Amino acid sequence: MTLRLGDTVPDFTQNSSEGEINLYEWAGDSWVVLFSHPADFTPVCTTELGMVAKLKPEFEKRNVKVLALSVDDVDSHKGWIGDINETQTTTVNYPILADPDKKVSDLYDMIHPNADNTLTVRSVFVIDSQKKLRLVLTYPASTGRNFDEILRVIDSLQLTDDYKVATPVNWKDGDDCVIVPSIKDPEELKERFPKGYEVIKPYLRMTPQPNK
């Protein structure tokens, strides 16, 4: 199954390090970051799971739940969690899906045969509170993911859902935003952007972040 941005993600029920999880029920009205790993006891992924544990309060501030996945079983996950806690000086505080039957991996197209026909690639899925897919990132096994970037993208997605803006290159929370081109009426511009805006080109207008 190929998932595209804006699709409703498929539901599933699968065992995890914290018991059985039904995605839709577990997510509730939260956003979800689902991120996959090729296998347990892999070095790059060990550092990633530790970092996500440390960043969990940042995800929670944004109403985001985090959910890892590996194709190994629950007993293996529990052994790996011990290593993660020890080596990364943290406590894994979120579930790791056990996917030995590759049910979820196949459902979310996490196995790329040209990369490896048995292991999941290292994908990140950002899913909003309506169960819509908002972002997919896929990394090679050799490159660690940047979870600060994933938080940055979530900030942008949530901001642009609520206001008629987009976020420019290298934007961070608090920076100026781009007014979407569809708004042209001067009165609507004045009403929506009371802090004012700068016209650089007719199609490129910058305004202070509306919710700051």
Structure tokens at 88: 């990364």
Report which DSSP code applies to 17. B
Structure tokens at 196: 């004012």
Question: Which residues 6+ apart lie within 8 Å of 43 measured at CB?
Answer: none
Structure tokens at 45: 């992924």
Residue-wise DSSP of 112-161? -TTT-SSSPPEEEEEE-TTSBEEEEEEE-TTS---HHHHHHHHHHHHHHH
Alpha carbons 34 and 110: distance in angstroms, whole number: 11
Structure tokens at 149: 């970037």
- Residue 109's region, left for phi above 0, alpha for psi from -120 to 50, else beta, is left
Which strand (E) or helix (H) includes residue 87?
helix 74-88
CB 208 within 8 A of CB 176: yes
Instruction: Using the structure block, give the residue that is written with the tokens 């929506």.
Output: 192
Annotated catalytic sites, by residue? 45
